[in-house]
């Protein structure tokens, strides 16, 4: 049943490999590793026919376990340890061949196999605990891999100290029963654990794609709204200010018409990159569509915001060889009241931006402070005096 389930899980993993985003690697190697483990189990049943079959069975099992290591490394974006992979399976095969053909010794064969493939398990435990995120999926996978590591290590030590009669899985015994139970179920559980980590990685990628602009890789409208909600709650709790910058590329249509849309895309990417580098770690930049960008400066009053605006402006004016020269206009709006909504401050920043456009472009303008109604919405210009 364990062998059949391993075949089924191999199909599941390979199917996931074909359908998951390319950023998630390693499932193909795990699927291939399960097939090698199945082949090793089948050959192991025929081990008494010849020494060659026995060597092929152990080599197949070693390849299967080694490919799971390669798959785990690819999942965590670590360079595959092919040198370790080949070293382990060659040493394992030579050791088993010596104690099977030249000097038959079952205990030595078990010890060699257990302690050499232990390298694969120890390496994976290290990868999980070092690169795995603090999430249930990584902890689950790490605990399962640790249990399997302890079991394999225990079998190798018992074979060395007490002899092969205690680890021969073809005979009846307490350790043999425990090893078979853990070994068969653990292969399936480890596959499930690996799949949960892949699924968690898929969730993160989809969430990132839903909140990031695919071209510039800065926040999109949805991601910006989520960030603003968090910063707005913090502003209300601590009684601080926030400032919004509305940034628009001047004459962007002319850039597309003169140089082509590919160059226009490079300009958009360049603007996003320059703005991001000029901001602090606590600041946020988003693309609102077209050539419009919005920057949120949490816990920042107007004076500090203008200093940041001038820094961004100077960075954008610096010539760069890979993009044509361009200019941008800024609208600056400071939010001093937590009762003002996101739409309210966006409207004020947008009006300041259009004022900068009307006054010659390549400059910034400051929006007047909001006058709010009792509902927290900005009062229309003609009603501000009465308010």
Residue of higher predicted confidence among 262 and 387:
262
The mean pLDDT of 136-146, rounded to a whole number, is 94
Q: Kindly report the pTM of this predicted structure.
A: 0.74
pLDDT tens digit string along 101-112? 888 888 888 889
Task: Give mean pLDDT, residues 56-85.
Answer: 94
Helix or strand or coil: residue 1?
coil
What does the pLDDT read at residue 89?
93
Q: Looking at the structure, do residues 125 and 251 belong to the same domain, yes or no?
A: no
The answer as to whether 39 is a domain residue is yes
Higher model confidence: residue 171 or residue 217? Answer: 217
Measured CA to CA, the distance from residue 362 to residue 317 in angstroms comes to 9
Domain membership flag for residue 216? no
Give the residue from 189, 208, 178 showing the smallest Cα distance to 9: 189
Boundary of a domain, candidates 157, 181, 211: 211
Q: Where does the pLDDT of residue 372 fall: very low under 50, low under 70, confident under 90, or very high at 90 and above?
A: low
Residue 330 lies in a domain: yes
Pair 200, 288 in one domain: no
Q: What is the pLDDT of residues 161-201, one digit of tens each?
A: 877 665 666 555 565 566 666 666 778 889 999 999 999 99
Classify 163 in phi/psi space as left (phi over 0), alpha (psi -120 to 50) or beta.
left
DSSP character at residue 327:
-
State the pLDDT at residue 170. Answer: 59
pLDDT band at 386 (very low <50, low <70, confident <90, very high): very low
Q: Are 239 and 378 members of one domain?
A: yes
Q: Is 97 helix (H, G, I), strand (E, B) or coil?
A: helix
Helix residue ranges per DSSP H, 20-135: 27-45, 51-75, 82-97, 106-131
Instruction: Tally the domains of the chain.
Output: 2
CATH number at residue 132: 1.20.1070
The lowest-confidence range among 60-74, 76-90, 367-381 is: 367-381
pLDDT value for 382: 37
Structural domain containing residue 369 = 221-383
Exposure b/e, 183-218, CB count within 10 A at least 16 = b: ebebbbbbbebbbbbbebbbeeeeeeeebbbeebeb
Pick the range with the lowest mean pLDDT from 14-23, 60-69, 343-352, 364-373.
Answer: 364-373
Same domain membership, residue 136 and residue 112: yes
**What SS3 class is residue 334?**
strand
Task: Please identify, among 164, 188, 211, the residue that sits at the C-terminal boundary of a domain.
Answer: 211
- pLDDT value at 371 more than 70: no
Q: Per mean pLDDT, which range of 24-38, 275-289, 360-374 is the poorest?
A: 360-374
Query: Domain check: are 183 and 37 in the same one?
Result: yes
For residue 158, pLDDT beyond 90: no
Domain boundary among 211, 240, 261: 211
Q: At 240, which CATH number?
A: 3.30.70.270
Instruction: Identify whether residues 261 and 367 lie together within a single domain.
Output: yes
Backbone angles phi, psi at 130, to 5 degrees: -90, -45
């Amino acid at each position: 049943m364990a062998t059949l389930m391993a075949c089924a899980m191999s199909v599941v993993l390979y199917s996931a490999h074909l359908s998951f985003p390319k950023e998630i690697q390693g499932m193909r190697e795990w699927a291939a590793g399960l097939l090698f483990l199945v082949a090793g189990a089948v050959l192991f049943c025929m081990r008494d026919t010849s020494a060659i079959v026995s060597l092929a069975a152990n080599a197949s099992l070693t390849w299967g376990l080694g490919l799971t290591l390669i798959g785990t490394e690819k999942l965590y974006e670590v360079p595959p340890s092919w040198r370790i992979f080949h070293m382990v399976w060659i040493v394992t095969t030579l050791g088993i061949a010596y104690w099977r053909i030249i000097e038959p010794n079952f205990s030595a064969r078990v010890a060699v196999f257990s302690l050499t493939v232990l390298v694969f398990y120890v390496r994976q435990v290290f990868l999980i605990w070092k690169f795995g995120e603090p999430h249930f999926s990584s902890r689950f996978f790490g605990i399962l891999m640790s249990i399997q590591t302890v079991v394999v290590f225990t079998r190798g030590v018992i074979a060395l100290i007490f002899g092969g009669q205690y680890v021969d899985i073809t005979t009846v015994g307490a350790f043999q029963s425990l090893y078979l139970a853990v070994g068969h179920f653990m292969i399936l559980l480890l596959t499930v654990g690996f799949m949960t980590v892949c699924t968690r990685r898929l969730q993160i990628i989809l969430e990132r794609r839903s909140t990031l602009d695919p071209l510039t890789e800065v926040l999109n409208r949805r991601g910006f709204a989520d960030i603003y909600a968090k910063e707005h709650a913090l502003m209300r709790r601590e009684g601080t200010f926030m400032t919004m910058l509305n940034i628009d590329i001047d004459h962007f249509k002319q850039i597309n018409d003169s140089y082509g849309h590919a160059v226009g895309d490079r300009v958009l990417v360049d603007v996003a990159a320059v703005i991001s580098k000029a901001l602090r770690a606590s600041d946020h930049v988003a693309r609102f569509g077209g050539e419009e960008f919005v920057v949120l400066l949490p816990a920042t009053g107007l004076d500090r915001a203008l200093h940041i605006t001038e820094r961004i402006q100077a960075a954008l004016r610096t010539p760069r060889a890979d993009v044509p020269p361009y200019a941008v206009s800024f609208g600056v709006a400071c939010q001093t009241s937590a009762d003002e909504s996101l739409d309210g401050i966006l409207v004020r920043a947008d009006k300041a931006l259009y004022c900068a456009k009307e006054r010659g472009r390549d400059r910034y303008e400051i929006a007047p402070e909001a006058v709010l109604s009792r509902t927290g919405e900005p009062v229309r210009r003609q009603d501000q005096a009465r308010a």
